[in-house]
A and B are shown apart, each in its own frame.
Chain A
Amino acid sequence: ETGVTQTPRHLVMGMTNKKSLKCEQHLGHNAMYWYKQSAKKPLELMFVYNFKEQTENNSVPSRFSPECPNSSHLFLHLHTLQPEDSALYLCASSQGWEGGDREQYFGPGTRLTVT
């Protein structure tokens, strides 16, 4: 148990559906991240929020829309996805971005399948 929870763990959705992924961290961290993990590819950073403000958007298509209402919660809203968006979506958190604060704690991920 890393202190980062993600729901749902598995999600199957059609290309016309709208769904949301949820992440919650119980570590008192200030930064939260969304990553995409596809088979045989490096983890791809999607978004970073620090103190609820978005600090990184790694050229992610607009069909992915993040929301960070507070430092403990992070959402990823999904709409009109493509089959190539099927992947494991990982949430992570860290205390900050300097020195030892950069250690990231990952959740178990949401396995997304787009049909």
Chain B
Amino acid sequence: GENVEQHPSTLSVQEGDSAVIKCTYSDSASNYFPWYKQELGKGPQLIIDIRSNVGEKKDQRIAVTLNKTAKHFSLHITETQPEDSAVYFCAALGTGGFKTIFGAGTRLFVKA
């Protein structure tokens, strides 16, 4: 079945450094790729998304890249801050339907 692999499962960086989280999806029909941030005691919150007709998208310190040929997409956080510490999930959705396939999550620690 469809799946999304996410790496690494844990990432520790120094404040100010960059963090990169990578995902690979299996369903070539996927065309929407959201990224969610989940803080302790809260539900996931969308932070950025990208559609299959775009290769890169930026929003301040956050960027997402998509390589449709390789079926890879990545989240890049620059100038990390302690408040970026959370669990990050990637996801993939196909055309039509509601089924979202999530990666297993990356726990990011930003050390002050």
Contact = CB atoms under 8 A, between A and B. Distances in A.
A31 B99 CA distance: 12
Contact of B34 (A48, A50, A90, A103): A103
A42 B98 contact: no
B60 to A, nearest CB: 18
Given A55-B98, A97-B98, A102 B32 contact: yes
7 contacts: A40-B104, A42-B101, A45-B98, A48-B98, A58-B99, A106-B43, A109-B42
Interface stretch (B12-20, B61-69, B72-80, B89-97): B89-97
A2 interface: yes
A98 B93 CA distance: 10
A56 B98 contact: yes
Interface in B1-32: 4, 32
A11 interface: no
Interface string A81-114: 0000000001010100110001111111100000
Contacts of B100: 43, 45, 104
- Contact size class for A? 20 to 34
B49 A103 contact: yes
A109 B43 CA distance: 6
Interface string B37-79: 0000111111001000000000000000000000000000000
Contact of B98 (A41, A50, A109): A50
Given A40-B104, A43-B89, A108-B41, A103 B98 contact: no
Contact of A33 (B98, B103, B105): B98
B96 A4 contact: no
Contact of A2 (B43, B89, B101, B104): B43
Given A42-B101, A43-B100, A56-B97, 14 more contacts: A31-B98, A42-B89, A42-B103, A55-B97, A56-B98, A56-B99, A90-B43, A90-B44, A102-B32, A103-B34, A103-B46, A104-B100, A105-B46, A109-B43
